[in-house]
Amino acid sequence: MMTNVEKKSLKQITKRRLASERECLFDLKNEMPLFFKAFEEACENYNKEIIYTPPEARCRGFEASLFNSKLIQGIQLFFPLDWKYGKYKRFILNAKGYLVLFKKLNNKGMPMNVRTKIVETINYQMMGSLFEQTGYTEDPILYFGYKKDRLGNIYQPQLVYIDENQVRWAIEEKDVVQNVSVALEKTSIDVAVPKLRILKKKAVNE
């Protein structure tokens, strides 16, 4: 837990650009479906590989580490030019002005990280480079995460925005599908309106 002095010190640092759910859905409308495809790809590859290691031979954190590697593999497949490793070998995707990290989530939707100073900085959206070199210090940080139940089932992939060490909003696959449907419906209406006006104009001239 952070002390009051540490929290006050963090608040004195300039914060990153705020991110709203609506803006994120719009900005990443093309990227988000690929996040969930990468997740599906990861699940398939994970299920194929996990069976080769019997439960009694799996060391602590083996399953989480293997799935995270499969998820990274999927992201690298769909975004071959947009990823890199930051400080402490942290895998980061740079997606149109957003920095996306990948992590298992707890029941509250928070990433299951070990409490460190840099993790607190991330969860408070404070400016600071996640890379060895400076850059991207103003871009908001998102987590693409998932949950795992007691039976080992991996489920509920979602894009999460955390600020002030609290989940501010989360986007699931159903939200992306709904957003695409609304966009298509709006496009259909916008295209239909001019055609009606043109037909009406021709009718008047005749």
Instruction: Kindly report, residue by residue over 89-132, the tens digit of the pLDDT.
Output: 889 999 999 999 999 999 999 998 878 888 888 999 988 777 65
Residue 32 has pLDDT above 50, yes or no: yes
The CA angle 11-89-31, to the nearest 5 degrees, is 80
Residues facing 15 on adjacent strands: 126
Residue 188: which pLDDT band, with cuts at 50, 70 and 90?
very low
First-to-final CA distance of the chain: 78
Which two three-digit tokens encode residue 75?
């992201």
Question: Can you state the angle between helices 32-50 and 62-78, rounded to 10 degrees?
Answer: 140
- Residues written for the chain: 206
Asked which of 12-21, 61-70, 177-186 is least confident by mean pLDDT, the reply is 177-186
Can you give the pLDDT at residue 174? 92
Helix (H, G, I), strand (E, B) or coil at 16: coil
Asked which of 19-33, 37-51, 173-187 is least confident by mean pLDDT, the reply is 173-187
The Cα–Cα gap between 40 and 85 comes to 22
The Cα–Cα gap between 40 and 123 comes to 27
The Cα–Cα gap between 119 and 133 comes to 18
Read off the pLDDT of each residue in 153-161 and give the average, rounded to a whole number.
Answer: 95
Which two three-digit tokens encode residue 114?
């070990």
Helix (H, G, I), strand (E, B) or coil at 204: helix
Asked which of 74-78, 112-116, 129-133, 164-168 is least confident by mean pLDDT, the reply is 129-133
User: CA quadruple 47, 49, 52, 55: dihedral positive or negative?
Assistant: negative
Can you give the pLDDT at residue 9? 53
Can you give the pLDDT at residue 169? 96
Reported as half-sphere exposure (CB side, CA atoms, 13 A), residue 46 has a value of 22
Contact 112, 1 (CB under 8 A): no
Contact 157, 35 (CB under 8 A): yes
Read off the pLDDT of each residue in 18-39 and give the average, rounded to a whole number.
Answer: 95
Can you give the pLDDT at residue 118? 85
Read off the pLDDT of each residue in 63-79 and give the average, rounded to a whole number.
Answer: 95
- Which strands sit side by side in the sheet containing 98-104, from one edge to the other? 83-85, 91-95, 98-104, 141-148, 154-163, 166-172
User: CA quadruple 113, 95, 9, 4: dihedral positive or negative?
Assistant: negative
The Cα–Cα gap between 174 and 55 comes to 33
Can you give the pLDDT at residue 128? 75
